[in-house]
Amino acid sequence: MPIYEYACADCGHQFETLVRSGSTPECPSCHSTELEKLLSVFATTGSDSARAAPAMAGPCGSCGNPDGPGACQRNF
């Protein structure tokens, strides 16, 4: 049962959810099933901090737009 990240095509809400086989995910905000699967960024652990990937920049944590959440004009 993998966890996927989605963006709702109807309201633009971004979320992640656990997807069970045979189920269709829906937006927790508007309950739409018109979703776009996003490319996930995963974390790794290790003792070599020089090879670690840098953290995502930006106050909203998703697109990195310095103006904050909802500031980017992503069209889905």
CATH number of the domain to which 35 belongs: 2.20.28
Does residue 58 lie in a domain region?
no
3-state secondary structure 3-59: EEEEEECCCCCEEEEECCCCCCCCCCCCCCCCEEECCCCCCCCCCCHHHCCCCCCCC
| pLDDT for the residue numbered 8 | 96
Domain count, the chain: 1
Does residue 28 lie in a domain region?
yes
| pLDDT for the residue numbered 51 | 57
- Its domain, for residue 24, covers 1-40
Question: What pLDDT, in 10s, does the model give residues 30-73?
Answer: 999 999 999 876 666 665 555 555 555 444 555 656 666 666 66
Q: Is the pLDDT of residue 25 over 90?
A: yes
Residue 18 tokens read as 């656990």
* 32: Cβ contacts below 8 Å, ≥ 6 apart: 8, 9, 10, 11, 26
pTM as predicted: 0.52
| pLDDT for the residue numbered 76 | 41
